[in-house]
Structure 1
């Protein structure tokens, strides 16, 4: 507590009121609703849900509003709320091949089973400010192809879409997924502290909760030579998938709802080692909502962290599991950085006294040395 601040507790309460006022802004402008944030800031909502480890669009939108758009603070709020919730059980692992795909692209094969779907993406937009968005009202545009009817925006009918890597798997050119040792269940990083050595399941959980900016920078570093990898985007898919949970009372799995997820599988060239023949290896990324940049960065980092497992030389921080996992979490990082704002009066006074004493000793030695030099010159 800032006990030295005038007013003490009253000053802190006044700070809260000022915070609410700053968040609300000009009251002559209509207040931004949670529903508007949920529907119109969907990419921000997706990030907060992913790094907050809670799939709830309304709660994520509420956190964004409360945090005045500070996504790291919103993630912190959502995680804090998560700790108050009871745990009813675990769902089955989702099968992304059954996803109702809204967007699906591959940079490795032009023609893939099920086809490629561009969907909604910024990839083909010009990075120019659209001043038409300053106008009030509906800004929805109707895009048409020349000489044809308007392009349908309806999602495609659900159908099973095998992964692109299955094309390589048929020829035995890509590594097989390795089962968990001894059939052990993966840990739950949201309930258990991070410990080393960390399994790949734990690493993927950590990366999913990790800060998007940090992962993006580290993923970029792997492409610039700070890892032994030459990545190709095997497949990126976004869509809706059902979540199932086994209920003992019924003796079967029940569909408890649908969620939107983005999945990325990176394919990396691998020259092989004494234990593994030349083949393609994989990096994997999965995030809530439409989160392509996060999923891609996650896949790049995941592959870099597999260096030791694949017998590669560890030559970069991006391949150091402890370094990467210990510094990826923005909630922990924010806490360590922002704790410097708290009072450190006693610590600083001790440092101040030490520096004064060291300077006095240094000055004394310097004067003694100068005196000796003068005597020798005489």
Structure 2
């Protein structure tokens, strides 16, 4: 525990007031409203919801505004608020196969059942600044696409029909999934627990690890089997009722990565799976998550664990940006006593070093 130095409380209060002033900025500029953040900074809102583990667009927008746009600080605020909420049950697993698809692309099949939907994407935009966005020019509304009348089958189901991809590995009936918010981390982790940690892990860290697997530090040869973005129903089982109660819909991003596997003594050559599921629209995060998921499954396939992305403890223990922030930023706080102790130790070692060097020089002169 840190002991407040003289005047520290006043300084902290003044720092808070200064922060509020800087947050507001120029008073001649209209204050930023939460609905503006929700509607026009939607991808930032989605990241805060995903890594903050709380699906609430308005709260995520509030956190972004309070944090002055610092995404990790906003995620920290959201995660802290989440801990104050009561837990009243677990929803049923969402059925992404029944997703109301807004965007769906595959890099493995050009023509596939249900078709490919580009949806809102930066993939084919020119990376050039658009001066018109500096003003308030009207934006032409796109043609509204009707919702798909039937669920779109997954690309992996096509490969499964030929027996060319590993089984889906669905949990058996009555299986109790882990919960990283209630149980401390224990290694090795089961895949369901790893996926939870990856889902709310830092996008930048997971992106770097995913990139490393493609450069040879993880032995993955990936193809994007499918990325889909859309809304899924969330349902809750109520003991008093014989049916599930729908709670509403949430937008999610799902990525199924298809990876080459040469086979082993026990398994034939086939494709294996990497999986990513993230709240909101976050393709880069879902793709990075699926690549890391596959790399972390190395032991299942008898592969040598030789890369950082294949090491469970390295990946999971360092992927949480809230924990990482705490460990790094606490270095700014007072460490006066610790430093004085180390300062005294270094001075003592320096004195002993000088004495040894002096004694050595004396012996050398005597020998000459």
The residue number in structure 2 matching 1:29 is 29
Q: Does 1:108 align with 2:108?
A: yes
The residue number in structure 2 matching 1:334 is 325
Contact 1:99–1:158, Cα closer than 8 Å, also in 2: no
The residue number in structure 1 matching 2:47 is 47
The residue number in structure 2 matching 1:188 is 179
Match of 1:249 among 240, 256, 259: 240
**Aligned partners of 1:221 and 1:266: how far apart in 2?**
16
RMSD over equivalenced CA pairs, Å: 1.4
Q: 1:155 to 1:343 in 2, by over 3 A?
A: farther
Q: Does 1:65 align with 2:65?
A: yes
* SS of corresponding position for 1:308: helix
Map 1:76-115; keep pairs closer than 5 Å: 76-115=76-115
**Offset at 1:139?**
3.7
Q: 1:69 to 1:278 in 2, by over 3 A?
A: same
**Aligned partners of 1:16 and 1:185: how far apart in 2?**
44
**Aligned partners of 1:85 and 1:210: how far apart in 2?**
21
The residue number in structure 1 matching 2:117 is 117
**Offset at 1:163?**
0.3
**Offset at 1:158?**
4.1
**Aligned partners of 1:235 and 1:179: how far apart in 2?**
18
- Provide structure 2 residue ranges, at least 5 long, that are not aligned to the other structure: none
The residue number in structure 2 matching 1:289 is 280
* SS of corresponding position for 2:247: strand
Q: Does 1:20 align with 2:30?
A: no
The residue number in structure 2 matching 1:263 is 254
**Aligned partners of 1:54 and 1:353: how far apart in 2?**
47
- Provide structure 1 residue ranges, at least 5 long, that are not aligned to the other structure: 143-150
**Aligned partners of 1:328 and 1:353: how far apart in 2?**
36
* SS of corresponding position for 2:287: helix
**Offset at 1:251?**
1.4
The residue number in structure 1 matching 2:311 is 320
Contact 1:287–1:295, Cα closer than 8 Å, also in 2: yes
* SS of corresponding position for 1:107: coil
**Offset at 1:132?**
0.6
* SS of corresponding position for 1:309: helix
Contact 1:219–1:298, Cα closer than 8 Å, also in 2: yes
Match of 2:207 among 187, 211, 216: 216
**Aligned partners of 2:115 and 2:172: how far apart in 1?**
36
The residue number in structure 1 matching 2:160 is 169
**Aligned partners of 1:280 and 1:320: how far apart in 2?**
22
**Offset at 1:94?**
0.8
* SS of corresponding position for 2:291: helix
**Offset at 1:229?**
1.2
Q: 1:111 to 1:246 in 2, by over 3 A?
A: same
Q: 1:354 to 1:47 in 2, by over 3 A?
A: same
**Offset at 1:3?**
2.8
The residue number in structure 2 matching 1:357 is 348
**Aligned partners of 1:348 and 1:86: how far apart in 2?**
42
Moved more, 328-337 or 152-161: 152-161
Q: 1:361 to 1:46 in 2, by over 3 A?
A: same
* SS of corresponding position for 2:227: strand
Moved more, 246-255 or 342-351: 246-255
**Aligned partners of 1:112 and 1:157: how far apart in 2?**
15
Contact 1:132–1:139, Cα closer than 8 Å, also in 2: no
Q: 1:157 to 1:167 in 2, by over 3 A?
A: closer
Match of 1:226 among 209, 217, 224: 217
Contact 1:241–1:261, Cα closer than 8 Å, also in 2: yes
TM-score (norm 2): 0.97
**Offset at 1:178?**
2.2
**Offset at 1:307?**
0.2
**Offset at 1:179?**
4.2
